[in-house]
Amino acid sequence: MKALELKVPPPIVALLVGLAMWLSSRPLPSDTAPWRLAVAVLCAGFGVIVSILGVWAFRQAKTTVNPVNPEKASSVVSTGIYNYTRNPMYVGLTTLLVGWSIWLATPWALLGPVGFMLYMTRFQIIPEERVMSSKFGRAYDGYRQRVRRWL
């Protein structure tokens, strides 16, 4: 399955997962709970903020944000949001999908964020970690020991 490693940009994966969630959803009958919209919007907002903080930290460090070319990274970013998660952009996309699943109001939709995390871990994060470890050695390996992959 190496053919899928670092091939599909994560926002495209999230979009495809979100579309699959929508296509397979069957809303619960007459579920118009006002809390659902509020929680969905909060999740989406949190996801957007976390993702933006990740992109901003990369821009500040003047390193690439292109996830399909991790070999172009110029430094290990370990400040700001990267003190809490090694993958804030992916955490943000996952949280957006959680908000989407809440909005869809169908239990099956919760499989979307789980599937996204599994896909991202196997085909994006693990290959990125190999590249970063090879390129930055101890600096990246130490960072990886201090900060969790997701949260």
The maximal CA–CA distance of the chain, rounded, in angstroms, is 55
User: Of 18, 95, 111, 15, whose CA–CA distance to 52 is shortest?
Assistant: 95
CA distance 54 to 51: 5
Give the model's confidence band at 107: pLDDT under 50 very low, under 70 low, under 90 confident, else very high. confident
Look over the chain and give the mean of its residue pLDDT values, rounded to a whole number.
94
CA distance 91 to 59: 18
Q: How far is CA 60 from CA 56, 63, 92, in A?
A: 6, 8, 19
CA distance 89 to 147: 15
pTM of the predicted model as reported, rounded to 2 decimal places: 0.94
DSSP state of 121: I
CA distance 88 to 104: 24
pLDDT digits (tens, 9 = 90+) for 15-64: 999 999 999 887 666 566 788 889 999 999 999 999 999 999 999 999 99
> Could you please report the per-residue DSSP string of 18-58?
HHHHHHT--PPTT---HHHHHHHHHHHHHHHHHHHHHHHHH
